[in-house]
């Protein structure tokens, strides 16, 4: 689920890395990078969808560092990944994004999405304040996100179909700017942790 109109800095000659391609890698990515999860955890991280057949080369890694030299790419796409990273690993992860490319694109679900869906694989609530990503540990607000009402909504939301289209896809694709934040960055990625 991308904001393609927000990715405007990629040139045809650019070498593009996508970090965490999930089930739907961006067609402009020339190399994919994913964490070497167990198959069970990878399935959960992809949102419970089957492993896709990638057309781009994919590199798997372990640890905190990406297995690439500094500035190996012209651009890096990181869509719907940051919310999966443990908060203590965020500084290193963001540093790795800026180490391997001078610019890129970030997209993530905001608090409205999490309040409606409370995706279990997501570790933090995130917001974009001006040009800064703000992180809050979901555990701090877990009572708000784990109410019976949220569970009932989540079940209905993912199972109801209208004209054979899943309600989830219909609402999120139509109103994605309400549920997701996306931006291009150049140089540094500004962020802060709410404590």
The model's pLDDT over 10-34, given as tens digits with 9 standing for 90+, comes to 889 999 999 999 878 898 999 999 9
User: pLDDT at position 1, please?
Assistant: 46
Confidence of residue 2 (pLDDT cuts 50, 70, 90): low
Neighbouring CB atoms inside 10 A of 74's CB total: 18
Q: What is the mean pLDDT of residues 46-67?
A: 86
The residues pairing with 134 across neighbouring beta strands, listed in sequence order, are 127, 192
pLDDT tens profile 93-134: 999 999 999 999 999 999 888 877 777 888 999 999 999 999
Query: What SS3 string covers the chain?
Result: CCCHHHCCCCCCCCCEEEECCCCCCCCCCCEEEEECCCHHHHHHHCCCCCCCCCCCCEEEECCCCCCCCCCCCCEEEEECCHHHCCHHHHHHHHHHHHHHCCEEEEEEECHHHHHHHCCCCCCEEEEEECCEEEEEEHHHHHHHHCCHHHHHHHHHHHHCEECCEEHHHHHHHHCHHHHEEEEEEECCCEEEECC
* pLDDT 10s digits, 65-100: 999 999 999 999 999 999 999 999 999 999 999 999
Mean pLDDT of the chain: 86
**pLDDT, greater one: 168 or 54:** 54
């Amino acid at each position: 689920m991308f904001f393609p109109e927000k990715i405007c800095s990629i040139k045809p000659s650019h070498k593009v890395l996508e970090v965490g391609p999930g089930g739907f890698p961006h067609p402009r990515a020339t190399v994919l990078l994913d964490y070497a999860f167990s198959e069970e955890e990878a399935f959960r991280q992809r949102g419970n969808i089957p492993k896709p057949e990638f057309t781009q080369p994919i590199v798997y890694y372990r640890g905190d560092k990406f297995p690439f030299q500094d500035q190996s790419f012209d651009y890096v796409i990181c869509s719907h990944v940051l919310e999966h990273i443990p908060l203590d690993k965020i500084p290193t992860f963001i540093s790795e994004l800026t180490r391997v490319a001078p610019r890129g694109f970030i997209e993530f679900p905001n608090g409205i999405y999490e309040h409606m869906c409370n995706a279990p694989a997501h570790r933090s609530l995130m917001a974009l304040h001006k040009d800064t990503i703000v992180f809050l540990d979901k555990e701090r607000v877990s009572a708000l996100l784990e109410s019976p009402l949220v569970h009932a909504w989540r079940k209905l939301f993912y199972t109801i179909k209208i004209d054979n289209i899943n309600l989830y896809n219909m609402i999120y694709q139509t109103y994605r700017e309400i549920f997701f934040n996306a931006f291009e960055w150049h140089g540094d990625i500004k962020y802060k942790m709410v404590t």
